[in-house]
Amino acid sequence: MNAPARSVTYRTRPLPAIVPIGLFVVVGAVLAGHGFASERNIANLGLQASILLMLAMPMTLIIMSEGLDLSAGAVLSLCSVVMAMMLAGGHGLVAALAASLGVGLAFGLANGGLVSLLGLPPFVVTLGTLGIAQGAALVLTEGNAVSGLGPGISALYADHIAGIPLPVIIALATWLVTHVLLYHTRFGAYVFAIGGNRDALVLAGVRASAWHIAIYAYGGLVSGVAALLLTGRMNAAHPTVAIGMEFDAIAAVVLGGTSFERGDGRLLGTVLGVATITVLRNALDLLGIESSLQVVSIGVLILVVIMIDSARRTWRVHPA
Amino acid sequence: MTSSHAAAARARVPLAHWRHHFASENAALALRVALILLMALLLALSSDAFLSTANVLNVLRQASLMFLLATGLTLVILCGGFDLSVAANLTLSACLAAGVIKSGASPWLGVATALACSTLAGALNGLAITLLRLPAFLATYAMLWILQGLAFHYMGGQEIYGFPPAFRALGTGFLLGVPVPVYLMAAVLVAGTLFTRSTNVGQEIYAIGANPEAARLSGIPVRRRQLLVYALSGLMSGLAAVVYLARVNAADSGMGEPLLLPVIAAVLIGGTSLFGGVGSLLGTVLGAIILALVINGMNLLDIKAQWQPLIVGVVLLAAVLVDVVGRGHRERIG
Amino acid sequence: MPLLALRSVSKSFPGVRALEDVSLDLHGGEVHMLLGENGAGKSSLIKVLYGAYRADAGTILHEGHLVDIKRPADARRMGIAVIFQEFSLVPFLDLAHNIFLGREPRHRVTRLIDHARMHREARAALDSLGLDYDTRALPVHLGIARQQMVEIAKALSQNARILVMDEPTAALSDREADALFAVIRRLRADGVAILYISHRMKEVLELGDRVTVLRDGRRVATMLRGEASANELIAMMVGRAAGAAGAVYQRRHFGEPGATALEVRGLCTASGVNGVDLVVRAGEIVGLSGLVGAGRTEVARAVFGADPITAGEVKLFGAPVHGGPDRVASRGVALIPENRKQEGLALKRSTQDNLLAASLWKQFPRGWYRARPARRHARALIERLRVTPGEPRRLASVLSGGNQQKVVIGKWLVAGCRLFMFDEPTRGIDIGAKGEIFALIEDLVKRGAAVLLISSELSEIVHVCDRAYVMRTGRIVGELARHDLSEENLLRLAMHET
C-alpha cells in the first residue's frame, strides 16, 4: 500500500480485552472436554447464541449513547407472549409478528422518550418499564405458559437455509443490519455523537433528541423480531422466560469493549462477547456447574474487564 | 469561550420556581401525609375490609418491612449514589441466615451472619465505586447478579422454612398490640434521622449528594463517606433480611427480587431526589406507607397479583417523573 | 469593500453595556486582531457575529448588503464561522465524518453514507489548509492543537469566508502555534477574513494586518500594521475613559508582613503549571495576575490539594503538606473557587447549610450537629457579611451572585483559617458587593491572615494588593512590588513584553 506518510495516521485500535479472554474461554472449553467439541453441541451453540446476539446488537448502541436497557429481557418475554397469543388465537404468523413488533416498538419509544426528552436516568426508567412489561406479560397469561400455537412457528425455528439454521440466519442478519446502521448511516454516526459529544450534534443543527429516541426504538423492534426465535424454540411462550437475558446482553457489550462514557462502540467486540458468554455457559453446563454460579462468574468477569479497560485508558492518556 | 449556544440550551430551566424559595421539606412531607390520608379515605370507601384493625396493622407491617430495606437505599441516594443490589443482598443474607438457624445454631448467630455478609457486600459495592471509580448503577448491577447467583447456588432450588417461634416473633409478633416490625421501623427511623440530621457525618452526606465537587472543596472526605453509606446500605439490607425472613418464615432464592421496584418507588415517592442531596428518612417512611397502601388496595380490590409488578412499575415511573419535572431539572434540550 | 462591516453596533443587558457604538470592518484576505481586557466586550462582539446575541442597535453589512443576524443559522449562511475553544468534535468518529457531521453525503439510491465522497472532500478540505492528517484518524488520537485545525477545516468546508478565532493559541505550544499561523497565512492568501482575539502581543504584532482595541464596550482605535507599538496598544487597552468610575475599592492600610504562610517551590502539575515559586506572608494580600489560561487557578487548586502535584513542593506555615482538600483545609487553608455555582456552593441546600459546610467539625468537635447553634452561627455570619435575604433556611439558589459569593467566603470564616486563596472573587458581582468583599478581605489580613488574590481585573490587583506575581503559560514571569504595581505593568508582563 503506497499511502503517503502522514503526520497523523489512522491507528488501528488495540484489541479489546475480549479477544484474549474469548480465546482463553474457547480453548478452555475444548480442553475441558465433556463433549464440548462435538458437532451436535456446536450446532446447538449457534442456536443458543442467536437470541442473545439479537438482544446484544441494539444494546451496544444504547450503551454507546450512555444509556442502558434493563427492560430488554422483559420486553422480549412480553413480545413472545403477545405473538404466542396471536398464534393460539388462530391468526397467521405475519399478524403475530406485526403485533410483536408493535409491542416492542411501543416500549422502545417509551424508554427513549423518557430518557431523551425528560432526561431521566436510563437505568431507573428501564427498571420501571421492566416492571411494566413483566407485569403485562403476567397479566395477559395469568402466569401460565401459552401453548397450542400450531406447527407454523416451530417449523420456522427448525428450518434451514443452505444448511444453516434459520434462527442463526436471522441473528446474523440482525448483526448485518446493525452494522450497516452503525457504520453507514447518519443514525449510526449520531449514536457515536450522542455518547461522545452531544453538543457537537446540537451545534451541527441536528435534532439529537429524536435520534436518541430512535436508538431505544430500535431495541424494541429487535426484541419484537427476536420473539420469533424465542417462541419458536419452545413452541410456547412463558411470561418470565427471558427475564435476565438483558444481563447477558449487557455483559456481552461490556466485555466486547464498548464504553459507557465516550461514545466508543465495538460491534464486533459485542459479537465476540456473545460468543464468549455462550461458550462459557455451555462449557460450565457440561461441567455440571449450575446457572447461578455461571451468572456469578460472568458478573466477576465484567468487573475484571472493566478494570482492565479503564487501567489501559489511564495509561493511554497522552496521545503522541 | 465556550460553545455557549449549546451550553445555554442546556441550562437548567427552573420550572417550579416557587418551590425553590424555601427548603420546603416540611411542605413536601405534609403533602405526602395528605396523599396517605386521601388514599386511606378512598380505600375505606371502596372496601369494608380496609378499616379493620387487622388490616391497618398489616399495612403498617408491610410498610415497615419495606422501609427497613429502603433505609440503606435512601442513604445511598442522598449521598448521590445508587444501589441496585439491595434486594439481592436481602435474598442472600436471608438465605444464609436461614441455613444457619436451620442447622440448629442460635438465631442470634443467624442474625449476625446475615448482617456480616450484607455489610460486606455493601462495602464491596462502595469499594468498587470509590476506588475503582465504577459508575454506581453498573457496579451495583453486577453485584446484584453476583449476589443473586450466590443465593441460587446456596439454596440449590430448595426452600428453607420453619424457624423457632422466638425468631419468628421478630417478623410476626406483636408488642402491645402493635406489630414488632413497626417498632423496628420507628427505632430505625429515629436512629437514622438522628444520624442524617444531627451528626456531622450526616450533614456531610447531604452535602456530597447536593454537589460532590463543592463538598470535596469544602474539605469533606468524600470517598470515605461514600464507602460508609454503601456499607450502611448493606447493613440495612441484612437487617431487613432478618425481619423479612422472620415474617414469611421461609427462605428461597427468589424472595428479594419482587422487592426491588417497590423499594425504589418508596424512596422516590417519599421525596428523596435521584440526583442526591434532598430527601429524608421520614419521607421514605411515608413513601413506604403509600406503597403499602397501593399493594393493600390491590389486594382488597381483588386485583390479581399479576398486576402488581405492572402497577408498581407505573408508580415508579410516575415518581421519577415527579422528581425530575417538579425540581425543574432538564438535563438536555435539543 | 469589507466582507463584513459592523456600524455602531450596541448591545446591552440589565445593568451592563456590553457593546456601545462599535464599528468594525472585516476585509477578505486580512487578519484583524481584536484586543481588549477582560470585560471589554470581545465575547459579546463574537456572539453578535455568530448569532447568539442580537444587536440592540446599529447595522451589519455583508458584502455591502444590509443583513440581520438573528440566529446561528443566519451567520452560517453568510459564511461566518467561529472556532470555539471547547471543541465540537465527536471523539470516536473519524475526521472525515466529523467534518461532515449533520451533512453527510449520501448515495442517491440507498441513502447510505457515501464514505468515498466524504473522505475525498474531507481530504480536499484538509489539503487546502496544508494538513496531511489521515481522514480515517479519530479525534481521540489527536492533541488539542490538531483538533483545532480540524475545526478550522470543518468551518472551511462549510464555505466559511469569515472566520472568528478566540484565543486559539491559548492551549498550544510554540511549535503548534506556528503550525496554526501557517494555516492562517494560507487562509489569508485565499481571501478569507479572519477576526482573531489574542492576548499575546507577539502574535498581534506579527500576524495582524489590522488591530482594533476595545475598552469598556467601546472601540478605542483601529490601527493598521506598524502604526502602533506594543506599549501604545497596552496603554489604549488600559487607560480609563474620563469620568469613568474610580477604583472600586481603595485599600486603607498596609501593614508589615508577618510569618510566611505559604511557600511554593518549583510547582508543576498536569493541569498546566510549569514550575512556580511564590511566597505569601501573614498580613499581606498577594495578587496573582495573568491572562486566562495562564495557570493561576491551577496553582491555587494544587496548593489546596484539589489537583495532584507532579513536581515541586508546597509548604504551609513552614511545614510541607500532602493529601487532598480535607487534609489541607484542616491546616487552616481556604479556597474560594472561581466557579462559585459548580464548585463553591450546593445550590440545592440552604444558606445555613452552605455556610457550615467547611466548619462542621470545628463547630461541633464531637460530631453531634445541632440545628439551633448551627442556625445561630449562620445568622452571625449572615449579619457580619450582610447577606440578603437574611433567612438562613432559604435555598442558596435564590441568592444573587454577590450574596452567593459572600456565602462561599463565609463558609471559610472559621476559627483557625489563616491562609485564604480567592479565585476571581468579584466576577459577576455588582459594585456595591465588590466593595464589601474587599473590605472583608482587608479585615482578614488586618487580623493576621495571609491572602492570595487571583483576579483578572487589573484595577483590583493594583488597588488592593501589597504586591503581585504575574503568570504566563504556567510560569511566574514577574513580581511587582507595591510601587511598581500598575495596570500597564501587569498587562505588559502578562502579554509577553518586558
User: pLDDT digit string (tens) for A67-83?
Assistant: 999 999 999 999 999 99
Query: Chain C window 442-481: which residues touch B at a Cβ cutoff of 8 Å?
Result: none
Q: Can you list the positions of beta strands (E) in chain B?
A: 160-161, 174-175, 178-179, 250-251
Question: For domain C4-238, is the CATH number 3.60.10.10?
Answer: no
What topology is assigned to C260-494 in CATH? Rossmann fold (3.40.50)
d(CA A113, CA A67) in angstroms, rounded, equals 13
Q: What percent of chain C has pLDDT over 70?
A: 97
* A208 contacts in chain B (CB < 8 Å): 332, 334
Confidence of residue C390 (pLDDT cuts 50, 70, 90): confident
d(CA B84, CA A70) in angstroms, rounded, equals 11
- Judge contact between C389 and C345, C-beta under 8 A: no
Taking an 8 Å Cβ-Cβ cutoff, which residues of chain C contact chain A?
A: 73, 88-94, 97-98, 101-104, 106, 111-113, 115, 132-134, 136-138, 140-143, 146
User: pLDDT digit string (tens) for C285-309?
Assistant: 999 999 877 889 999 999 999 999 9
d(CA C475, CA C291) in angstroms, rounded, equals 12
d(CA C435, CA C247) in angstroms, rounded, equals 10
* B152·A250 Cβ contact <8 A: no
User: pLDDT digit string (tens) for A168-177?
Assistant: 999 999 999 9
Cell 465524518, residue located: C97
The predicted structure's pLDDT at residue C431: 77
For residue C348, give the nearest of B201, B220, B278 by CB distance: B278
Q: A103 lies in a domain?
A: yes
* C104·A189 Cβ contact <8 A: yes
Confidence of residue C242 (pLDDT cuts 50, 70, 90): very low
The predicted structure's pLDDT at residue B4: 45
* A8·C94 Cβ contact <8 A: no
* C293 contacts in chain B (CB < 8 Å): none
Confidence of residue B333 (pLDDT cuts 50, 70, 90): very low
Question: For domain B24-321, is the CATH number 1.10.3470?
Answer: yes
| β-pair partners for C219 | C214
| Chain B CB within 8 Å of residue A92 CB | no
Collapsing DSSP to helix, strand or coil, C132 comes out as: coil
* A292·B317 Cβ contact <8 A: no
Q: A171 lies in a domain?
A: yes
* B312 contacts in chain A (CB < 8 Å): 131, 135
Q: How many CA atoms lie within 13 A of C258 on its CB side?
A: 13
Based on the structure, what is the number of domains in chain A?
1
Confidence of residue C87 (pLDDT cuts 50, 70, 90): low
Confidence of residue A235 (pLDDT cuts 50, 70, 90): confident
Long-range pairs, C125-130, Cβ under 8 A, ≥24: C125/C99, C125/C153, C125/C154, C125/C156, C125/C157, C126/C95, C126/C150, C126/C153, C128/C153, C128/C156, C128/C186, C128/C190, C129/C153, C129/C156, C129/C183, C129/C186, C129/C187, C130/C182, C130/C183, C130/C186
Q: What percent of chain B has pLDDT over 70?
A: 90
User: pLDDT digit string (tens) for B156-193?
Assistant: 888 998 899 889 988 888 888 888 999 999 999 999 99
User: pLDDT digit string (tens) for A131-141?
Assistant: 999 999 998 99
Count the residues in chain B: 334
Q: A8 lies in a domain?
A: no
Query: Chain A window 216-275: which residues touch B at a Cβ cutoff of 8 Å?
Result: 247, 250, 260
What ipTM describes this predicted complex?
Answer: 0.86
For residue C88, give the nearest of A6, A200, A264 by CB distance: A200
- Phi then psi for C90, rounded to 5 degrees? -90, 120
Confidence of residue B330 (pLDDT cuts 50, 70, 90): very low
Nearest to C55 by CA among C16, C21, C9: C9
Q: Which domain holds residue A74?
A: 49-243
Taking all residues of chain C, what is their mean pLDDT, rounded to a whole number?
A: 88
For residue C367, give the nearest of B1, B21, B201 by CB distance: B201
- Judge contact between B83 and B264, C-beta under 8 A: no
Q: Comparing C4-238 with C260-494, is the CATH topology the same?
A: yes
User: Which stretch of DSSP H or E encloses residue C477?
Assistant: strand C475-480
Domain range list for chain B: 24-321
- Judge contact between C472 and C169, C-beta under 8 A: no
User: pLDDT digit string (tens) for B44-94?
Assistant: 988 888 888 889 999 999 999 999 999 999 999 999 999 999 999 999 999
The predicted structure's pLDDT at residue C200: 81
Nearest to A253 by CA among A39, A72, A81: A72
State yes or no: pLDDT of B332 exceeds 50: no
Domain range list for chain C: 4-238, 260-494
For residue B274, give the nearest of A68, A121, A130 by CB distance: A121
Residues A1-27: what's their mean pLDDT?
71
* B216 contacts in chain C (CB < 8 Å): 306, 324-326
Report the chain B residue with the minimal C-alpha distance to residue A293: B149
Instruction: State how far residue A11 is from chain C, nearest Cα, in angstroms.
Output: 7
State yes or no: pLDDT of B12 exceeds 60: no
Q: Comparing C131-145, C234-248, C477-491, which segment has the lowest mean pLDDT?
A: C234-248
| Chain B CB within 8 Å of residue C420 CB | no
Nearest to A280 by CA among A310, A251, A243: A251
User: pLDDT digit string (tens) for B14-56?
Assistant: 434 444 444 467 888 888 899 899 999 999 988 888 888 889 9
Q: Comparing B124-128, B284-288, C455-459, which segment has the lowest mean pLDDT?
A: C455-459
**What per-residue string of b and e applies to C46-66 under the rule 16 or more CB within 10 Å gives b?**
bbbbbbbbebeebebbbeeee
For residue B310, give the nearest of A132, A295, A296 by CB distance: A132
The predicted structure's pLDDT at residue C248: 67
Cis omega (within 30 of 0) for bond into B262: no
Strand pairing category for C260-269 and C65-67: unpaired
